[in-house]
């Protein structure tokens, strides 16, 4: 039999679980019944249903009104949303070769389906007519917001272009969908192929918890009794912090930073060049000078100049702090008798040594107290104290992998509010990183629809019978993604398009980054950070040392992030022709900003999935920093109240930020919560960069 991929067998609606009503608790996806061959027939049906629904709107002989146009649009595409959510969850969190092959076919077909809808002249004419007369329609605040967002979405998709431009825009969209999928698959391919097997002599300096996780990772890769380091960040970073073997640190670092840039079948350089050229062309078709100008018009920042201004304001003190830290690390190497210059694979290792010397703290000391279960309990408890929600684990909900856990979420009155899925461990079938998504969004347009919210992480799994121990960064990531999750779970809007995280990219990180603040609060850690063997609470002296060390190495962390955000901005503001040699472009831009040679980008271009696996964060990686201005300022509201769970402040946070979704302008929402615009200095204070040394 040929090894070539075979076309999927046809699947009729009668036996296709994606096309049947789900007889599961809360009508959740029956993952065990769903096979790769079910997806194409389900997508075909979903595309056909959606096209028919759109045709009914465009052919409606009645004059356009909110109900027969905007509300009808909101009700359309339910099957497509249902099938897509399951498909993309599996592709990213538990893929296999059959799903990845399907992904190559589905992505361009999805673009092919949406192009004629988003550029439909008759449909846009109905929307535009309503938009023009919106003041006379008697709309509620949420309806007005939905009309404005719908008009903007269609206008920015090219609905107002002439036929030739629409045809070209459709071609571009389809090709970009293919390229984004290719980029993701290449990155996953490099991550799956590379690992470093550690012999008994290669474990010097590695804490017991890391070795246990490395053995679990080897077991998962079919190497029982071995220990491996992978290019997952949860494996790479602790290895670079702890391993005494400089030669192995160099190998791991180089493998991590070379993902997608190895000149092999997974190389992403040519993919990036084509993506940037097509994005530039699409922006110009829409009347914008650059893709960044197009993208940022529909954001809080509004312009590339505003983004660059924020990033440069942070870059200057961060770089100065990083250079001072570099000199201190080099001095430490000399003190130890080392006769070599600090290299990027040395930074984390010697930064940990310096932190131990200056703050008497290292991650290995606190990890035994940061169990995954303890930090999940902490995240749940903070949500309960802030918003009244409760979480109870359900073992009767179908999941896509045995490690996935599910909790039922109830509001303060005991009413069902959501289901929360947690998929926490790294595995070869999962793409790297951490993210929140949903299998179903909250809405009340057709009944009270409760959301199905997912958090996907890549933490190292503990050895058999042992808990997973988190680093402080891992624990912060858990709270970050759970903050996104709360944004989805607490959503209280009428219309699906405005649900949960359907907000500007540079606002969507506010609920997640704000929630991180509770993870590092002493009263939270005293209650939930307990030793995994003894159950003893975190000793007060260790807690104080941890809190004192939080701002240590912030120059490094800020530089690697801001440099990545600046590169993203330059990719999308300069002519696409300037980046035909991606490596040379990267090198030139880093030289331009004075990037310390000892620090690499948090995401080198060939692995920068945020901006090249799709366009959600393209020209938008700065969003984390833009939101951090708000989150640092927002937590101040609780500090000023003298209680990190202050009920009145929490109620405003719930009503104005977490539950309102995209139903109001984000700037208005923030001012409603805080009583004023955010104060930018809070960001520099939080990162400990206010008194950074003068830049060299």
Name the token pair of 318. 């961060």
Identify the residue whose tokens are 């949960």: 500
Q: For residues 266 and 690, what is the distance between their CA atoms, to the nearest angstrom?
A: 42
Evaluate whether 630 touches 671 at the Cβ level (below 8 Å): no
Identify the residue whose tokens are 């998504």: 437
Q: What is the 3-state secondary structure (H, E, C) of 467-505?
A: CCECCHHHHHHHHHHHHHHHHHHCCCCCCHHHCCCCCCH
Residue 481 appears among annotated catalytic residues: yes
Strand order in the sheet with 405-410: 390-394, 405-410, 416-425, 452-459, 435-440
Pairing of strands 228-230, 195-197: antiparallel
Evaluate whether 648 touches 641 at the Cβ level (below 8 Å): yes
Evaluate whether 387 touches 486 at the Cβ level (below 8 Å): yes
Q: What number of residues does the chain have?
A: 696
**Rounded to 5 degrees, what angle do the CA atoms 594, 597, 598 make?**
130
Q: If you ran DSSP here, which 8-state letter would residue 1 be given?
A: -
Name the token pair of 271. 């993919």
Q: 53, 481, 516, 589: which is the annotated catalytic residue?
A: 481
Name the token pair of 324. 């001072």
Evaluate whether 100 touches 189 at the Cβ level (below 8 Å): no
Nearest alpha-carbon partner for 637 in 597, 667, 671, 598: 671
Q: Please list the residues that pair with 435 across neighbouring strands.
A: 456
Q: Which residues carry out catalysis?
A: 481
């Amino acid at each position: 039999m040929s090894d070539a991929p075979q076309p999927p067998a046809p699947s009729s609606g009668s036996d296709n679980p994606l096309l049947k009503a789900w007889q599961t608790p809360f009508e959740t996806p029956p993952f065990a019944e769903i096979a790769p061959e079910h997806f194409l027939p389900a997508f075909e049906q979903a595309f056909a249903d959606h096209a028919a629904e759109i045709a009914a709107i465009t052919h409606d002989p009645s004059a356009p009104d909110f109900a027969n146009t905007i509300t009808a649009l909101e009700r359309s595409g339910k099957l497509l949303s249902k099938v897509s959510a399951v498909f993309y969850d599996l592709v990213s969190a538990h893929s296999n070769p059959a799903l990845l092959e399907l992904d190559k076919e589905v992505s361009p077909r999805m673009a092919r389906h949406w192009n004629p809808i988003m550029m439909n002249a008759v449909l846009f004419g109905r929307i535009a007519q309503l938009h023009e007369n919106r003041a006379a329609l008697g709309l509620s605040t949420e309806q007005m917001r939905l009309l404005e967002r719908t008009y903007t979405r269609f206008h920015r998709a090219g609905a107002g272009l002439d036929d030739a431009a629409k045809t070209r825009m459709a071609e571009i969209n389809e090709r970009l969908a293919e390229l984004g999928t290719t980029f993701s698959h290449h990155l996953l391919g490099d991550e799956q192929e590379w690992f470093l097997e550690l012999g008994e002599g290669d474990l010097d300096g590695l804490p017991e918890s890391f070795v246990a996780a490395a053995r679990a990772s080897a077991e998962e890769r079919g190497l029982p009794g071995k220990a491996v380091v992978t290019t997952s960040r949860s494996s790479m970073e602790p290895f670079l912090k702890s391993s005494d073997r400089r030669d192995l640190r160099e190998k791991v670092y180089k493998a991590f930073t070379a993902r997608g840039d190895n000149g092999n079948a997974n190389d992403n350089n040519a993919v990036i060049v084509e993506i940037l050229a097509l994005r530039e062309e699409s922006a110009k078709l829409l009347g914008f000078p650059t893709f960044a100008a197009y993208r940022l018009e529909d954001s809080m920042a509004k312009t590339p100049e505003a983004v660059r201004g924020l990033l440069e304001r942070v870059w200057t003190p961060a770089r100065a702090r990083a250079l001072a830290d570099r000199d201190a690390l080099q001095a430490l190497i000399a003190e130890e008798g080392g006769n070599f210059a600090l290299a990027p694979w040395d930074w984390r290792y010697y930064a940990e040594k310096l932190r131990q010397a200056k703050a008497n703290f290292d991650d290995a000391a606190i990890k035994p107290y940061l169990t995954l279960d303890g930090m999940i309990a902490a995240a749940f408890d903070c949500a309960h104290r802030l918003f009244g929600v409760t979480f109870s684990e359900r073992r009767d909900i179908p999941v896509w992998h045995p490690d996935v856990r599910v909790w039922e979420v109830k509001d303060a009155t005991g009413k069902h509010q959501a289901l929360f899925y947690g998929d926490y461990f790294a595995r070869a079938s999962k793409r790297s990183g951490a993210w929140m998504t949903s299998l179903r969004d909250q809405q009340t347009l057709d009944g009270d629809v409760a959301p199905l919210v997912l958090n996907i992480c890549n933490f190292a799994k503990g050895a058999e019978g042992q808990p997973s121990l988190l680093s402080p960064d891992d624990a912060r990531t858990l709270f970050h993604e759970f903050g996104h999750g709360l944004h989805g779970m607490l959503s209280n809007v009428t219309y699906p398009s405005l649900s949960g995280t359907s907000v500007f990219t540079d606002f969507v990180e506010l609920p997640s980054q704000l929630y991180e603040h509770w993870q590092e609060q002493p009263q939270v850690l005293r209650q939930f950070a307990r030793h995994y063997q003894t159950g003893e609470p975190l000793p007060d002296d260790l807690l104080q040392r941890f809190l004192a060390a939080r701002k240590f190495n912030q120059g490094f962390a800020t530089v690697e992030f801001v440099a990545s955000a600046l590169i993203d901005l330059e990719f999308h503001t300069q002519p696409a022709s300037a980046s035909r040699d991606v490596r040379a472009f990267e090198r030139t831009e880093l030289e331009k900003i004075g990037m310390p040679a000892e620090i690499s980008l948090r995401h080198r271009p060939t692995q920068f999935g945020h901006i090249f696996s799709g366009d959600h964060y393209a020209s938008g990686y700065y969003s984390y920093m833009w939101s951090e201005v708000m989150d640092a300022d927002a937590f101040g509201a609780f500090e000023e109240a003298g209680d990190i769970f202050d009920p009145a402040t929490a109620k405003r946070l719930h009503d104005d930020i977490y539950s309102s979704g995209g139903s109001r302008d984000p700037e208005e929402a923030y001012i409603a919560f805080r009583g004023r615009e955010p104060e930018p200095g809070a960001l520099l204070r939080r990162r400990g960069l206010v008194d950074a040394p003068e830049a060299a």
